[in-house]
């Protein structure tokens, strides 16, 4: 699975890609040259809507054709051959999440969440917890028709 460098023109997409398990770093740099340099140096494919990069090599750049999030997600999923089999990543820092025992979340998530959820994932880097709440369901439902095997996505918080 290629690693991605997503620029500021697709910041929202970067969060959804991470949620679906794609290694997608967000870079808010305004310099096209800097973005390309960073992508090459880190072995990443640049994802952008910048018209300057429309004709760039497909192996280096994914030029997003649409302004709409679901269409962007569908384009990237098609290019990468995404399925629902990937483990989710932290939507903030891009680190891989680890599944933790429910007791680990006790006192560290809102009480209502702890009482209503049984599965938790945790980001070691930024000390955040994730669970299958309404946001997870929204992402899963929105990506269901895009991913090749969405049933596997349901296994991950």
**Secondary structure element (H or E) that encloses residue 129, with its range:** strand 128-130
- Would 86 be classed as within a structural domain? yes
The structural domain count of the chain equals: 1
84-93: pLDDT as tens digits: 667 889 999 9
Name the pTM for this structure: 0.81
DSSP code, position 118: -
- Would 104 be classed as within a structural domain? no
Tokens 């349901």 locate to 154
65-119: pLDDT as tens digits: 999 998 999 999 999 888 766 788 999 999 999 999 999 999 999 999 999 999 9
121-139: pLDDT as tens digits: 999 999 999 998 877 777 7
pLDDT for res 153: 41
Q: Could you list the residue range(s) of the whole structural domain that residue 42 is in?
A: 1-97+132-157
- Would 79 be classed as within a structural domain? yes
| C-alpha neighbours within 13 Å on the C-beta side of residue 62 | 26
- Would 51 be classed as within a structural domain? yes
């Amino acid at each position: 699975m290629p690693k991605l460098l997503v620029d500021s023109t697709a910041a929202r997409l970067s969060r959804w890609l991470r949620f679906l398990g794609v290694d997608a770093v967000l870079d808010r740099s305004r310099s096209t040259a800097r973005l390309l340099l960073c992508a090459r140096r880190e072995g990443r494919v640049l994802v952008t809507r910048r018209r300057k990069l429309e004709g760039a090599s497909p192996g280096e750049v994914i030029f997003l054709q649409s302004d709409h999030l679901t269409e962007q997600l569908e384009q990237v999923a098609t290019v990468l051959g995404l399925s629902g089999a990937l483990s989710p990543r932290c939507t903030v820092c891009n680190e891989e999440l680890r599944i933790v025992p429910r007791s680990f979340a006790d006192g560290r998530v809102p009480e209502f969440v702890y009482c209503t959820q049984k599965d938790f994932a945790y980001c070691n880097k930024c000390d955040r917890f994730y669970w299958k709440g309404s946001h997870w369901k929204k992402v899963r439902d929105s990506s269901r028709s895009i991913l090749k095997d969405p049933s596997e996505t349901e296994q991950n918080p």
